[in-house]
Each structure stands twice: as C-alpha cells, then as structure tokens.
C-alpha cells in the first residue's frame, strides 16, 4: 500500500490552509488526497463555524490534514506564519478581500519569504470590482451567479443549492492551484490566484448565458424538464418518498422504454411518435410513466430499464448512498476511526488513478500537530513554545 501512495501527484508539497467553512477546506482536502501535507491554521478563540455547528461535518470536510492553533491577531504570530510559508508551496485563504493584507500576510509579504509561492484567495465576488467586500455564503453566490434563478419549479421561487455549490467551488480552487503548480514547474514562477465563487457558479450555466447572448432569451425555472428530451423527470416508486429518474433521448430508447413497461403500443401513439411530440405532451406522458413506476421499487425500475438500455437511476437519500453496493465496491465509501467521533463513514476521493491510492486519513484534532509543526518543522525550542503559549500566540 505504501508503494501506491509514494507516487501521489503532489506528494512532498506543503499547503498552508487558512480557509474556513466548506469551499476552501474542501479544496485543501483534495490537495491532501493527492499527497500534499496540508497544515490547517485554527484558533481556539475563533473556531470555524462548521466545527461549532457540526463537528462531524467539519471532520468529513477536513480529512487527511494536520491542525495547528495560532492566533494570527497576536503580535509575533505573523512572523511564525511567514516562517511556515517560507518552507511551504501553497497558501489557501478565504477571508474577505483585504483581511490578509491588514494582518500583514498579503501576497507581496509572503512572496518575499517564498518567491515561487502559489497563493489562492477565495471570496464570494473576487478581490476586484464594486462588490468585492460583500459577504457571501453559498446561497448568496449561487443566487448572484445565476444558478438559483433557473433551479426549481415554474410556480415556485428560485431554489438555493447551498452546500453543493461550496464543494463545487472547492473543486475550482483545487483545479486552479494544480494549474499554477504546473506553471511553476515549467517556469519557476509563483502565482497569485484571485478566485470569485460567483464567477465559478456562472461558468456552470454557459448554455443559459449563450441563449441570452444569441437569442435575448432569459431562461427561468422548469423543474426536471429538459429543453429537448422527453420523458425527462423523476417518477414515484413504491415506498415513502422513493423516486426514480428517467431520461430518454432517442426514438430507439423510447421504444425500448415502452416495451420494458409492457406498453409497446405507446411507441405508435401519435402523441408520442417522435421526440418533439413527446416533448409537447410531457404532462400526459409523465402520468403514464408515473403510473407504471409506482408499482415497483426504485431499484427494480432501474434494473428493468437499464437492462433495456434506458437511462434510469434511483434518487438516493443519504442512507441509500452509504449502503449502495456500487459505491462500496468502488471503494468510495471509507470507514475511519476518530478518537472523539468514533467510527465514521466518509466519502473518499472522487477519482481513481491507476496504481495510485489516495491519501485518506481521519480529520485532525484541534491543535493536534502543534508539536510537529512548531518544534520539528520550525525549530522552536520547548522554552520558546512555552513563551508563545503564555503570550497566547499559540492558542
């Protein structure tokens, strides 16, 4: 197993993680999965709001990291950070624009101690522009990014997606950092990355933006319906709140669906004879399909239709995800032991490399790695560490 982790893509790289909540921490976790040594800067006086609200969620979003406690507002803490950055490769932070500069830890300062540093600053609206100082959580940048307006049903308000948008933003962060690392390996140059979550979310709805730029149409909510495919919806199944998603693209798939439902005559019905007719008559179509699916479990519908070549899968709740045999066989769900939380099932890396095993370990305890970082990495003596603790620099 050790041989499979020795060749991780960014093994040997050190990341200093100032980020909090979800998006930034998830990006740093992705880096840790790929082999980086991630050192999370925490504080006992300013605890991450996710840790306060849900220690289990905090754990699951901060896997494979180290944790040190440091009060960066105390005199002397800035010099410690600079010393740590001088032996690190990447800094991730998601304070509001200007905060790191006011703390004396802006990119220009940190670049002076590590010229080829890659530093990524994540914020809701970016470090430039009239809205740069606006507060932002996922519900905010998802709404201003344009995604909420097209999510939901036509007769209902826009729908906020929240947590998943944080994690998608975290993937943007990890991607940008890896691109900057590749650039550094080619040129020797460091990089400062200003990443706006709002920009990232808007980039996800490119087809909607294109529709407006080309046709001056501003799309709104249409539930589960597609612009072209029909049927395309979630249908009720046996059991309480059990659903299956079915999508049909071609006439061949439609015929296969009709045969699988035991209704071959539907493929000849003029209302459903071709894709445009099906799209025009979706309400009637969905009633027929929903009547059939309601006689089966969502798993049974999936197996029947997938065997016939029709795209159909259950709409899983959390319990079903963790029990899903496919995810478990792929090794995506991992059980870890935590000294406070006990045994925890967590999601691993969402990729599989050939002959490379992701570095997935439990999340750290608060300040668990103070001795390693301050003593072994930074070379502070026991007396110096005690003095810093007395001054509440290390807290």
User: Cα 273 to chain center, whole Å?
Assistant: 41
- The domains of the chain are located at 2-204+330-390, 232-322
Burial 160-187 (b: 16+ CB within 10 A, else e): bbeeebbbbbbebbbebbbebbeebeee
Q: What is the DSSP letter of 376?
A: I
Task: Give yes or no for a contact between 100 and 108, defined as CB atoms under 8 angstroms apart.
Answer: no
Task: Give yes or no for a contact between 121 and 176, defined as CB atoms under 8 angstroms apart.
Answer: no
Distance CA 314, CA 299 (A): 6
Q: Which residue has the tokens 């709001």?
A: 49
β-strand partners of 90 = 15, 118
Of 198, 68, 57, the C-alpha closest to 129 is: 198
- CATH H superfamily, domain 232-322: formyl-coa transferase, domain 3 (3.30.1540.10)
Distance CA 265, CA 227 (A): 25
Query: 3-class SS at 47?
Result: coil
Output the tens digit of pLDDT for each of the chain's 395 residues: 445 567 889 999 999 999 999 999 999 999 999 999 999 999 988 888 888 888 999 999 999 999 999 998 888 899 999 999 999 999 999 999 999 999 999 999 999 999 999 999 999 888 888 888 887 877 777 887 888 888 889 999 988 887 788 889 999 999 999 999 999 999 999 999 999 998 988 888 888 888 888 888 888 888 888 889 999 999 999 999 999 999 999 999 999 999 999 999 999 999 998 999 999 999 999 999 999 999 999 999 999 999 999 999 999 998 999 899 999 999 899 999 999 899 989 988 888 888 888 889 999 999 999 999 999 999 999 998 888 888 888 87
How many Cα atoms sit within 13 Å of 165 on the Cβ side? 29
By annotation, the residues acting in catalysis are: 166
pTM attached to this predicted model: 0.90
CATH top class, domain 2-204+330-390: alpha beta
Residue 158 is predicted with a pLDDT of 87
| 351, two tokens | 């990729």
Identical fold for domains 2-204+330-390 and 232-322, yes or no, is no
Q: How many CB atoms lie within 10 A of CB 216?
A: 7
Distance CA 98, CA 133 (A): 9
């Amino acid at each position: 197993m050790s041989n499979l982790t020795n060749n991780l893509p960014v093994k040997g790289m050190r990341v200093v993680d100032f980020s909090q909540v979800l998006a930034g921490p998830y990006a740093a976790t992705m880096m840790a999965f790929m082999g980086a040594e991630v050192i999370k800067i925490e504080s006992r006086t300013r605890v991450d709001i996710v840790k306060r609200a849900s220690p289990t969620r905090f754990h699951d979003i901060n896997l494979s990291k180290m944790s040190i406690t440091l009060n960066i507002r105390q005199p002397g803490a800035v010099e410690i950070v600079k010393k740590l950055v001088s032996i690190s490769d990447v800094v991730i932070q998601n304070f509001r624009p200007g905060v790191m500069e006011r703390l004396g830890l802006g990119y220009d300062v940190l670049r002076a101690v590590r010229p080829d540093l890659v530093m990524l600053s994540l914020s809701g609206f970016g470090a430039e522009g009239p809205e740069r100082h606006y507060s932002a959580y996922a519900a905010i940048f998802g709404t201003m990014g344009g995604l909420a307006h097209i999510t939901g049903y036509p007769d209902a308000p826009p729908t906020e997606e929240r947590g998943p948008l944080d994690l998608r933003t975290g993937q943007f962060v990890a991607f940008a950092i890896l691109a900057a690392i590749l650039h550094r390996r080619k040129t020797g140059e460091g990089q400062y990355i200003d990443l706006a979550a709002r920009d990232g979310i808007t980039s996800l709805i490119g087809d909607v933006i294109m529709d407006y730029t080309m046709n001056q149409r501003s799309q709104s909510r249409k539930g589960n319906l597609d612009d072209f495919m029909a049927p395309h919806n979630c249908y009720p199944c046996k059991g309480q709140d059990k659903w299956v998603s079915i999508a049909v693209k071609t006439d061949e798939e439609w015929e296969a669906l009709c045969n699988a439902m035991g209704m071959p005559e539907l493929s000849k019905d003029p209302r459903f004879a071709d894709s445009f007719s099906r799209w025009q008559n979706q309400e009637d179509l969905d009633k027929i399909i929903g009547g059939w699916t309601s006689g089966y479990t969502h798993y049974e519908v999936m197996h029947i239709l997938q065997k016939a070549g029709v795209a159909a899968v259950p709409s899983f709740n959390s319990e079903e995800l963790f029990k899903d045999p496919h995810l478990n066989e792929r090794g995506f769900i991992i059980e870890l032991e935590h000294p406070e939380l006990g045994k925890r099932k967590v999601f691993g890396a969402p990729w599989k490399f050939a002959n490379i095993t992701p570095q997935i370990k439990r999340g750290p305890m608060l300040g668990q790695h103070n001795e390693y970082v301050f003593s072994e990495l930074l070379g502070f003596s026991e007396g110096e560490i005690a003095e810093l603790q007395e001054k509440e620099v290390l807290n």
